[in-house]
A and B are shown apart, each in its own frame.
Chain A
Amino acid sequence: MKIYSCCEKDSISKRFYCPECRSSEFAEKEVSDDGTVYSYTKIHIAPAEFADIAPYNVVLVDLDEANAKVTTRMEEDVEIGDKVTFDRLEKGAYIYKKVPERVQLH
């Protein structure tokens, strides 16, 4: 996962300008895709463009290696605190998946 940083603030999305110093140059760093479920919802009533995949989960993931969150979509149901990781990029969306239990033990 790529993180954009300026003035000690991390973000998953590249802003046009840093709100602190107005620079358009952001430090880029690669961090682990792994994260923890911060919160979630299952969307039953979807806008027209997503109606064919409803219901689906939208999950806000707190990245383990950055002070940043990323809004993802997941097929599995989750609880707050579950360990999750990146699965694939699909039509501009981050699709995440659960980390299997046995891996979490290490």
Chain B
Amino acid sequence: MTSTYIHGIGMTKFGRLESSLKELLLEACNEAVKDAGNPKIDAVFVGNFMGGSISNQEILGAIVANELGLGYIPSTKVEGACASGGIAFRQGILGIMSGEYDTVLVAGAEKMKHASTPDVTQAINSAMDTTTTEKMAGLTFPGFFGVLANRYFYETGASKEHLARVALKNRENGVNNPLAQFPKHTSLEEILSARMITDPLGLFDCSPMTDGAAAVVISKKKSPIAVKASSQVSGPTKMQDAIDLLSIPAIGESGRLAYEKAGLGPEDIDVVEIHDCFSMTEIIATEELGFFNRLEGWKAVEEGRTKVDGDKPVNTSGGLLSRGHPIGATGLAQIYQLVRQLRGNAANQLAKNPRLALAQNLGGTGSYSTVHILERV
């Protein structure tokens, strides 16, 4: 089977930006292609979620191929809600594994800050099954994780303070990342007293609206960073049909598949980027990925195990909560941070010189999950 290697990475600043969706996309792509040494690109995959609904802009693949002068090559936009970037990355990998392409440019981008919060919330709600009575009841995307969090508290003894500790850790990490959306320090008190979004999730427990883009060049040609495993699964699309609300099976199953492909276990992973769309989601994901026992992820937070200097550092970039969450770009921003960690020049670089890195990207309320494991070779 053909192996895939990472050759170049690029990422814009995340936040409220003047640049258009197209400008952000091209900036990240150009940086990644230059970082890769300007190779011939055989195909383009772009992850994007709301370019059509919020910016009235589709054909992002062809725009990249044309504006960067890549020639008459195939290009594709990939949609998988907040996992659009991770799925695009996987499509590129599959294209190389199949033998069809030697070198692929994968990008993700989103432009959100120009639209109003109710309009963006409405657009994000399209990542739920909109034909159901629960959508008619007014369930929102953050609302799902609020319901989950209250049940998690009830069953475990965890509290809002544990969620706040996740938010604080990711903010402290984000402050050291010059590309992150939020450069300011905060405190547990500020997080705990912030206005409520969907009980018990306050402002700091929810990932923000963000403009930004990220891109990666991958190839079958060798480089110092290999893609050791790529997995993707689909999960339940309705809250009321969840067999166990405190499990997000898409995360667990994508993790299990990735470990199996890589011949590794959770104990082997040195550094992790997890899809912390909400503070609660990070805790559940650390359990689903096998880093901590089920219903005990909150204890690991309490013990500081997921901090930069902990034994299982999670979201050294600041995560979605502080790096920001330009939906289609997030999966590739995770790869960007992990490649920097493996190259040894990341924001919050780990002292222990990491060799194995894992990225997990979630779409919907558990509708999609991708896991990628990278290895410094």
Contacts of B143-182 to chain A: CB distance below 8 A = 143, 146-151, 154
Q: List, in ascending order, chain B residues with CB within 8 A of A91's CB.
A: 136
Contact assessment for B133 and A93 in the assembled complex, using a CB-CB cutoff below 8 Å: yes
Per-residue CB contact flags for chain A residues 18-53 toward chain B (1 = under 8 Å, else 0) read: 000000000000000000001111111111111101
State in angstroms the CA–CA spacing of A72 and B238 once bound together: 13
Interface centre among B117, B119, B121, B242 (most CB of A within 10 A): B121
Residue of B nearest to A56 (CB): B138
Contact assessment for A44 and B137 in the assembled complex, using a CB-CB cutoff below 8 Å: no
Contact assessment for A72 and B137 in the assembled complex, using a CB-CB cutoff below 8 Å: yes
Chain B interface SS verdict (over half)? helix
Residue of A nearest to B206 (CB): A45
Decide if A60 is an interface residue (CB 8 Å cutoff).
Answer: yes
Contact assessment for A44 and B138 in the assembled complex, using a CB-CB cutoff below 8 Å: no
Contact assessment for A47 and B133 in the assembled complex, using a CB-CB cutoff below 8 Å: no
Q: Number of B residues contacting the other chain (C-beta, 8 Å)? A: 36
Contact assessment for B132 and A45 in the assembled complex, using a CB-CB cutoff below 8 Å: no
Decide if B240 is an interface residue (CB 8 Å cutoff).
Answer: yes
Q: List, in ascending order, chain A residues with CB within 8 A of B199's CB.
A: 40-44
State in angstroms the CA–CA spacing of A38 and B245 once bound together: 10
Q: List, in ascending order, chain A residues with CB within 8 A of B137's CB.
A: 58, 71-73, 93-94
Per-residue CB contact flags for chain B residues 126-144 toward chain A (1 = under 8 Å, else 0) read: 0000001110111110110
Q: Number of A residues contacting the other chain (C-beta, 8 Å)? A: 32
Distance between B364 CB and nearest chain A CB, rounded to angstroms: 15
State in angstroms the CA–CA spacing of A80 and B149 once bound together: 12
Distance between A76 CB and nearest chain B CB, rounded to angstroms: 14
A42 partner, pick from B196, B239, B241, B242, beta carbons under 8 A: B196
Contact assessment for A46 and B147 in the assembled complex, using a CB-CB cutoff below 8 Å: no
Residue of A nearest to B154 (CB): A80
Decide if B118 is an interface residue (CB 8 Å cutoff).
Answer: yes
State in angstroms the CA–CA spacing of A104 and B147 once bound together: 24
Chain B residues within CB distance 8 Å of chain A: 117-119, 121-122, 125, 132-134, 136-140, 142-143, 146-151, 154, 195-201, 238-242, 245
Pairs A-B, 9 closest by C-beta atoms: A41-B146, A71-B134, A92-B136, A39-B151, A48-B118, A93-B136, A42-B199, A93-B137, A47-B122
